[in-house]
């Protein structure tokens, strides 16, 4: 995939994601792995109104090769996700209410989802009886340290679909733009269902990982 193709797909994805309210106040950042390296959204741009000027290009070693503006502080985490998951071609980082709240309500190191038919929207999940596990990492302004924690986790429990950063948001991966958007939409539906379940059952009784 060429850089221009990836940028065009991310611009359209930004409109779709923004319409759903998952990237408020210029929050979030998007990226893609390309034939020549990576493209990543620069900091401070409304994801619903992205243009080609809103992207920074990097080579395979993570060296900046093109683009103006400031790189997102979380660029290193994006690049690390690509190293950990060779099949990943896109990473979308979002800030929905459901994902952010659940990441704080669940005190453990993961959210385990089961019993939902919509789990099958995630690649590799075949049944509502399967357990879909999304790891949670404590937020850290030191992105290098956070990336190391994600890498250490991946060594013993490979990350397949996404990770949550506590009180921050969701990072979701996909092998193409259709898959990453399907994973994002499926997870957001599941997080909304789980949040409603906890409200109805009582948060104190229902929160565990």
Euclidean distance between the first and final Cα of the chain, in Å?
A: 38
Predicted pLDDT of residue 153: 93
Q: What is the 3-state secondary structure (H, E, C) of 23-80?
A: CCCCCCEEEEECCCCEEEEECCCCHHHCCHHHEEEECCCCCEEECCCCECCCHHHHHH
What confidence score (pLDDT) does residue 42 get? 95
Domain interval for residue 102: 3-206
Beta carbons of 58 and 33 less than 8 angstroms apart: no
pLDDT at 207: 53
pLDDT at 206 over 50: no
Task: Measure the CA–CA gap between 8 and 97, rounded to whole angstroms.
Answer: 27
Encode pLDDT of 43-87 as tens digits. 999 999 999 999 999 999 999 999 988 888 899 999 999 999 999
Is the separation of the CB atoms in 100 and 25 below 8 Å? no
CATH number of the domain bearing residue 98: 3.40.225.10
Q: Is 93 annotated as a binding residue?
A: yes
Q: What angle do CA 141, 12, 53 make, to 5 degrees?
A: 65
Q: Over the stretch 129-144, which tens digit does the pLDDT of each residue have?
A: 999 999 999 999 999 9
pLDDT, position 46: 96
Our count of domains for the chain comes to 1
Q: Is 53 labeled as ligand-binding?
A: no
- Across all residues in the chain, what is the average pLDDT? 93
CB contact at 8 A, 47 and 18: yes
Per-residue pLDDT averaged across 117-121, rounded?
96
Q: What is the pTM of this model?
A: 0.92
């Amino acid at each position: 995939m060429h850089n221009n193709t990836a940028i065009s797909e991310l611009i359209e994805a930004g409109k779709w994601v923004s319409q759903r309210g998952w990237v408020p106040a210029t929050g979030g950042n998007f990226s893609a792995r390309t034939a020549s390296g990576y493209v990543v959204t620069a900091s401070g741009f409304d994801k619903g109104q992205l243009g080609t000027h809103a992207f920074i290009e990097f080579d395979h070693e993570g060296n900046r090769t093109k683009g103006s503006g400031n790189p997102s502080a979380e660029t290193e985490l994006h690049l690390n996700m690509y190293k950990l998951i060779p099949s990943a071609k896109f990473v979308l980082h979002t800030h929905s209410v459901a994902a952010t709240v659940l990441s704080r309500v669940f005190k453990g190191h993961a959210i385990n989802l089961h019993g939902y038919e919509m789990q099958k929207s995630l690649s590799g999940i075949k049944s509502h009886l399967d357990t879909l596990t999304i790891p949670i990492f404590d937020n850290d302004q030191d992105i290098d340290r956070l990336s190391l924690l994600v890498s250490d986790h991946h060594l013993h429990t490979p990350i397949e679909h996404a990770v949550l950063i506590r009180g921050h948001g969701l990072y979701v991966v996909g092998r193409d733009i259709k898959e990453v958007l399907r994973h994002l939409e499926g997870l957001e539906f599941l997080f909304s269902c789980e949040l409603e379940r906890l409200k109805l059952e009582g948060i104190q009784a229902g929160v565990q990982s």
